[in-house]
Amino acid sequence: MGEALLAGLLAGGLSPAEVRVGEKRPDRAAQLTERHGVSVLPNTEAVSGADAVLLVVKPQDMGDVLAEVGPALGAGTLVVSLAAGITTGFIEARVPDGLPVVRAMPNTPALVDEGMHAIAPGSHCDEEHLARVEEMLATTGKVARVPERQLDAVTAISGSGPAYLFYVVESMIDAGVTLGLPRATATDLVVQTLTGSAKLLAETGEHPTVLRERVTSPGGTTAAAVRQLEDHRVRAAFMTAMEAAATRSRELSGE
């Protein structure tokens, strides 16, 4: 995710000379320099003097990273966190007083510039800070503003959402193979069906129920399949799964 955003920022007009990356693994640092031409430095050097810092770390590592880089952050530095569950309050308590903090939740389609990002302001943010973060993230997809209290739900829906869809894709491909299709053919059928359905939903603006019902003829093949999904409580399973993801996001806050 960090590299996807780095590539997006560079494609959006930043020069490599304007970007510094903190990375402790020498092999990974060498890759980033080779691919993007950016300077890769120890974390404290990377953030020193920066006007904006993006924290792209695992939630369980956030406390240690803030303890390391917090003292090196200058006055007015905009801090953007992409760590699931970590609240702006958690970060504000570990950086110099008054720094603007924005919490963001991206998703992996950002790797192909089709991400869905949600952002929420901390207690010291203003419109200018939010607009700047929107501009950064818009290089890799769409951006929505939400209250921070909704970000755990966002994590469950769009943050983790690609995994649910890939799970469905896996299941449909396996079903195709069971029904006698070559795996490559089943994969092409499922991937294009997913791509086309998403485009149809986005471009028509019609409710998904309406679009589903247009495919579902009374007594037909789709109706038989949907009945099995309902009998196996697939809808309820999706809702329970996303509730579990939101709960886990709250647990990761460390507060």
Query: Could you give the CA distance from residue 60 to residue 81 in angstroms, rounded to a whole number?
Result: 13
Q: What are phi and psi of 39, to 5 degrees?
A: -80, 130
Spatial separation of the C-alpha atoms in residues 27 and 25, rounded to whole Å: 6
Going from the C-alpha of 215 to that of each of 53, 209, 212, 220, the distances in angstroms are 48, 10, 5, 9
Residue 43 marked as a ligand binder: yes
Minimal CA–CA distance to 247: which of 168, 182, 155, 162?
155
Full DSSP string of 200-226: HHHHH---HHHHHHHH--TTSHHHHHH
Locate 71 and state its tokens: 């003292």
Taking Cα atoms as reference points, which of 79, 131, 117 lies closest to residue 101?
A: 79
- In whole angstroms, give the CA distance from residue 4 to residue 61: 20
Q: How many other C-beta atoms are found inside a 10 Å radius of the C-beta of residue 60?
A: 12
Q: Please give the helix or strand (H or E) that residue 20 lies within, else none.
A: strand 20-22
Of 122, 52, 130, 64, the C-alpha closest to 89 is 122
- Contacts of residue 243, defined as CB under 8 A and 6 or more positions apart, other chains included, come to 156
Q: Which residue has the tokens 């050097």?
A: 45
Binding site members: 43
Binding site members for NADPH: 43
